[in-house]
Amino acid sequence: MKPLCLLQGQQPFPPLEHALDNPNGLLAVGGDLGPQRLLDAYRHGIFPWFGKGEPILWWSPDPRMVLFPQEFRISHSLRKTLHKADYEVRSDTAFERVMRACAAPRPGQEGTWIVEEIIQAYCTLHRLGYAHSVETWVDSELVGGLYGISIGRMFYGESMFSRRADASKIAIAHLARQLQHWEFGMIDCQMNTAHLASLGAREIPRSEFVKRLQELIHYPPVEWKFEPHLFK
- Same domain, residue pair 45 and 117: no
pLDDT recorded at residue 173: 96
- Looking at the structure of the chain, the number of domains it has is 2
Judgement on whether residues 144 and 227 belong to the same structural domain of the protein: yes
Specify whether 202 is located in the same domain as 139.
Answer: yes
Do residues 16 and 70 both lie within one domain? no
Q: Is 157 left (phi over 0), alpha (psi -120 to 50) or beta?
A: beta
219/137 same-domain check: yes
Question: Residues 31, 133: one domain?
Answer: no
Same domain, 52 and 75: no
Greatest CA separation found in the chain?
56
Q: Which bin fits 169, alpha (ψ -120 to 50), beta or left (φ > 0)?
A: alpha
Tell me: do 223 and 154 sit in the same domain.
Answer: yes
Whether 75 and 106 map to the same domain: the answer is yes
CATH of the domain at 13: 3.30.70.3550
Length of the chain: 232
pLDDT for res 3: 81
What pTM value is reported for the model?
A: 0.95
Cis, bond preceding 228 (omega within 30 deg of 0) = no
Do 92 and 176 belong to one domain? yes
Same-domain status, 37 and 100: no
Residue 112: predicted pLDDT: 77
pLDDT of residue 130: 98
> Which distant-in-sequence residues (6+ apart) come within 8 Å of 95 by Cβ?
123, 126, 131, 132, 133, 147
CB environment 174-197: b (16+ within 10 A), e (fewer):
bbbbbbbebebbbbbbbeeeeebe
Q: pLDDT in tens for each of the 232 residues of the chain?
A: 678 899 988 899 999 999 999 999 999 999 999 999 999 999 999 999 999 999 999 999 999 999 999 999 999 889 988 888 789 999 999 999 999 999 998 765 665 789 999 999 999 999 999 999 999 999 999 999 999 999 999 999 999 999 999 999 999 999 999 999 999 999 999 999 999 999 999 999 999 999 999 999 999 999 999 886 676 5
Range of the domain at 15: 5-61
Question: Among residues 61, 85, 109, which one ends one of the domains?
Answer: 61
Distance CA 196, CA 155 (A): 15
